[in-house]
Structure formats: C-alpha cells, structure tokens
Structure 1
C-alpha cells in the first residue's frame, strides 16, 4: 500500500475527503491517504508542498497559481470547488468601522504572506478602487490570531470564509460589514511534480475516489446536520452554504488560468505569467 500525504484547511469544503478516508475508500484502492489539517491556510500549504511535507494540497486557486509561478515545483491537477469562495470582511464587534469605505486606509489581518487572506485583500481593494500599494498587513497565522488582533486593535479588519467565520459573528466577537467573492473557482487540487512523475496512476486513483464522493456529497442523508455539528454552525447557515457550493470533477482550463493570472498580474501579485503547462497537468 502506498502512503500519500495530503493537506487542507479544517473547513466544511473538505468533509468529502474525511468521509472517504473514514469509509476506507482510498484504502480499498491500496492507497494510504494521510490527511493533515492546516488551519494557517494556503501560504503554509505552499510551503509544505515546496518542502515535501505534503504530496497533495487542497488549496486556494489564486494562492497556488502565485506560488507555482514563483517556483513551487507542483501542478494543479483539478478544480476541487467550482463555486467562488465568499470572503466575509470582518471587523471587531465594537469597532467604529460600519461600512467597507471606512476601512480603506486601515490595517488588514492576514494569516501569512502569500495567503488567500492577503491576496483577496488586494482583490477587494482593487474592486473598491483603492490604491493597492497602500495596503498594510498584520500577520496573525490563524483565525484565533485574528480574534486577538481585532480585539486588541493591532489590526482593523480580517477577510475569511464567511460561513466558517459566522459563529464569531453570532457570538458578538466579529461584525461582518461586506462580502467579497472570488472571481474564479475557489479550491484546486495541487500535487508535487515529483509525485506526479513517479506515481501518476496513484494520483488518478485518488482523484477518481474523491470525484465520486463529491458528485453525491449533497445527497448524503442529514449531511446538513452532520456539517452543522462538526463545524459548530447553525443548520440554516449550512443549508445556505450547501446551496451556494458546487464541487468539481474537472481540470482547470486555459481560459480560467488566464483569468486568474491576468488579475494577479494587474494587482502586481505576480510579475510574470506562467505557461499553461508550467501550472496545470490534467491527469
């Protein structure tokens, strides 16, 4: 049996992986898939792919595209979630900031440099017509760090997936002042080049298993209640999230890669575009 290491955020999007692992669906195909939760998010997973600490990452599209262009020896093998990620823009509950225009020149909390929370701060600033060169960042590592930074005032706002952050809004710790959806599919599956070269059939098997799981995921009886319990969510919030979320079983195409890279280039997040073959490998 071949051991393959995989990493992803501890969020509702990744429950299909956990259910497939628990049901021994990979094991039945002679694959020992070892999952690691990465609460720090995309920047940390890029680092793990580079170091060989993980073989596969279920990762934000814009973050891994940026890192592959910067030299990460990995490829995107498939889109995982087709729908956009809805980033909530949050401030401390007692903050004086009421609207999105209020936070234009304030400091944004980000999990780490190169993270989705940093890249989407640029996208949001561009959407609002702000000068992106003026963005100021406070590195907070995890959502707990964001709570501390916003509460103490060392940062002013924090962008994170809206539904995972909602319990903090419900508790009166954060207040959400706006949303910022990604202009592209939010999650992709990336694999280290060495693993792709040495074990292409194993990667194909892993994709086949997870694709079967995501195709029928919404049909699992009481899946809304399972998700609500596991992720400390209200059932009606999970129902709304499920209605907005579409998993994918398809590769990333040239048109979508161009869209992502053009925006990253425009925002000066990357200084050159990678070719399709440098960034993507369909299995």
Structure 2
C-alpha cells in the first residue's frame, strides 16, 4: 500500500477529506492517505511541498500559483472549492478603529510572507484605492492563534482570515470585524509535486475520484450542518449560511482563470513574470 501525505488547513472546508479518511475509502485503492494539518496556512504548505514533506496540498489558489511562478516544482490538478473565500477584516475588540478606512497606513498582521493573509492584504488595499507602498505595512504573527494573542497586544492592527473560521472570536472576543474581502477567483485548489505526479499519477487520480464523489453530494449528507457546527465550534446559523455560499468543484482551473490570476498578482507586483498555463496546470 502506497503512503501519500496531503496537507491542508484544519478548517470546515476540508471536512470532506476527514469523512473519506474516516471511512478508509482510499485504502480500497491501495492508498494509505495521511492528512497533515497546517495551521500556518499557504506559506507553510508551499514550503512543505518544496521540501517533499508532503506530496499534495489543499491550498489557496493565489498562494500556490505565486509560488509555482517562483519555482515551486508542483502543479494544480484540480479546483477543490470553486466559490470565493470570504476574508474577514478583523481588529482587536479594544481597538479604536471603527471602519476599514481607519486601517490605511497601519500594519496588517499576516501569518507569513507569501501566505494568503499576505497576498489578500494587497488585493484589499487595491480594492480600497490605497497606495501599496505608503498604506500597506506588515507584522508577521504566525497563524490564527498568533493573531488571537497578538492583535490585542498591538502586534499588528488588523488581521484578514476566513470570516466563518473567525466568527466565534468575533461573537465572544477578542476580535471585531470591520469588513469583508472576497477572493476574485476560486479559493482552494489541489496541488501535487510534479515528481509525484510522474511517479504516482494513477494514485493521484484515484484520490481525486474518491474526494470528488464526496464533494459532489456533500451538502446532501444528513445533518451535515450540525456536524460542522459541533466539530468546529460554530453557530448552526453561521454554518448554514456558509454552506449556502460554498460550492465544491470536480474540475480544474481554466487557462483563462490562470491568466487572470497571474495578471492580478503581477499588477500587485507579487510576481515579476507569468508562466504559460500548462506550466501551472496538470491534466490527466
């Protein structure tokens, strides 16, 4: 049986992986799929893909495309969640800021450079019409836990993270939410190291077939909203709204989407050059 390691954030988007692993569905295809949580998010997973610590990753689209352009020897094999990710713009509940415009020129708390929280701070700044050099500053705080501890201490002024994940900390502190910033593209993709695609392409296809079978009918699972609410400590009404807004995918990005994302990253000076889509996407 082939052992394959896949990484992802420990969030509700990835519950389909937990369910298929719990049911031992991959073992039917001779695959011992091992899940590894990456609370540090995209930057941490990019590093793990580069080093071979993991073979596959469920990762933010903009983050992996940027890293592939910068030399990560991996490819996107499929979109996992095709709906946008809704990033909440959070401040400490004791902070004096009352609206997004108050944050111009302050420090965005980010998990690490190259992470989703880092890249989306640029997207948000552009949406607001801010000057990228004067109005955008950063403070590295590690991950969500780092932000929960650091933001009330003044380690960064605002923190962008998926709004449903942070909702419990808005309801009960220590965060307040000032606004939202959705990604202008499908939010999560599945990336695989190129070397692994070459050596174990059939196993990757088997994994995709199994996870796709689950995501195609994920919302129809009985009591799924209640399961998510209990597992991730969220209010049932918040989970129901999240399910209504979220759509999984069983297909890859289009070349047009890859071009548009690279153009946006280049416009924000987050990449210097573009790659042809076939250098970023892998089609079986």
TM-score (ref. length: structure 1): 0.99
Distance (Å, rounded) in 1 between the aligned partners of 2:43 and 2:18 = 22
Residue matched to 2:276: 275
Counterpart in 2 of 1:12? Answer: 12
Which residue pairs with 1:203 in the alignment? 204
* Match of residue 2 from structure 1: 2
Paired residue for 2:252? Answer: 251
User: What SS does the corresponding residue of 2:48 show, helix, strand or coil?
Assistant: helix
Distance 1:33 1:175 in 2: 38
- Structure 1 partner of 2:234: 233
* Runs of 5+ consecutive residues of structure 2 not aligned to the other structure: none
Q: CA RMSD in A?
A: 0.6
Matches within 5 A, 1:5-84: 5-84=5-84
Cα distance in 1 between the residues matched to 2:188 and 2:57: 10
Q: Distance in 2 between matches of 1:39 and 1:232?
A: 16
Shift of 1:172: 2.4
Paired residues for 1:206-221 under 5 Å: 206-221=207-222
Mark the runs of 5 or more structure 1 residues left unpaired by the alignment.
none
For residue 178 of structure 1, report the CA deviation from its aligned partner: 0.2
SS in 1 for 2:10: coil
Give the SS at the match of 1:273.
coil
Structure 2 length-normalised TM: 0.99
Moved more, 272-281 or 6-15: 272-281
Equivalents in 1 of 2:201, 2:148: separation in Å?
Answer: 42
Aligned partners of 2:190, 2:76: CA distance in 1, in Å? 6
